[in-house]
Amino acid sequence: MRLTFATRPSALARWQTQWVIHALQKIHPHLECEEKIITTQGDKILDKPLPEIGGKGLFTQELESELLSGAVHCAVHSLKDLPVENPAGLTIGCIPARAEVRDALIARDGYTLATLPPNASVGTSSLRRAAQILSLRPDLRTQPLRGNVDTRIRKALDGQYDAIVLAGAGLTRLGLDSHVTEWLSLDIMLPAPGQGALAVQCRADDATTLELLAALENESTRKAVTAERAFLQGLGGGCAVPVAAYAVISDQSSVFSDQSSVISLTGLVISEDGKKVVKVIGQGTNALQLGHALAQQAIQNGADEILKPITNYQSL
């Protein structure tokens, strides 16, 4: 049996794909795997901030086209980059155990978020990160940051920015976490829905591939990220809006009569300037229902007024 994996050309995308391949081959020793490198629109357009070119599917559409055409069997994604709606005919075959969920700050001069001087520049490709930074430190300047992980770190170390903020999972996977000057706690920087998790996408009718991938499935991670992505879906947002969500799974609890594992979800919607914040917290046993219910609660608390100007701008 041979599986062909679609992957983007970046070092992180290749690492993630090779991790999945090696994990599968440990379980299925006779499985042969190969990679097909595909450059996405997000890889090509590097001179504009992500929100300006629209974040939805920027790093996934070309890989999904290869899947639908039958040219490849699987595509490995950072789950936070994957739109909440799967194209018809595709499914997430497995979600392995989640890695680091926190964001990390890197500063050449050893600054933390608290010690950065007034008017310091902080590079980030994410409206979510920029907004939460400004909520805590409105005196800072957030600036667009593009490129792969190595490029972004080099820009920080070269002094093009006073600091940058990146997803911690990518740094740990590439062995670059020694550059981190501060791990940002979840109290001050809530992650993107699905952050730290991988998703292996395949065709929904490919029973053989689905059976092979099932060995890497992590049930707790699947429940947590499903709740987070349901929150995002309920708000009608994509990957480039300032929405954060994080869920944890606890053991059986007497709080709920069916004794299922309890999902605790925190959701956040924040204005670009960090001045308006809607935060909701809830528990439940059904990930989809919990995420959608908290999204409705956030809308009732004013999330729509925060997101509408942003989504209207991105659709222009």
Residues near 184 by beta carbon (within 8 Å), at least 6 away in sequence: 102, 103, 104, 105, 113, 165
- Report, in angstroms and rounded to the nearest whole number, the Rg of the chain calculated over CA atoms: 19
Please tell me the distance from the alpha carbon of residue 167 to that of residue 127, in angstroms, as a whole number: 13
Joined together, the tokens standing for residue 219 give 């049930």
Contact 103, 165 (CB under 8 A): yes
How far is the first Cα of the chain from the last one, in angstroms, to the nearest whole number?
Answer: 46
Cα angle, residue 226 at apex, residues 220 and 229 outer, rounded to 5°: 140
- Sheet with strand 277-284: strands edge to edge: 243-252, 261-270, 277-284
Answer for the pair 96, 217: CB distance below 8 angstroms, yes or no.
yes
Q: Which of 47, 81, 139, 162 is catalytic?
A: 81
- Structure letter (DSSP) for residue 303: H
- Is 251 annotated in the active site? no
Residues involved in catalysis? 81
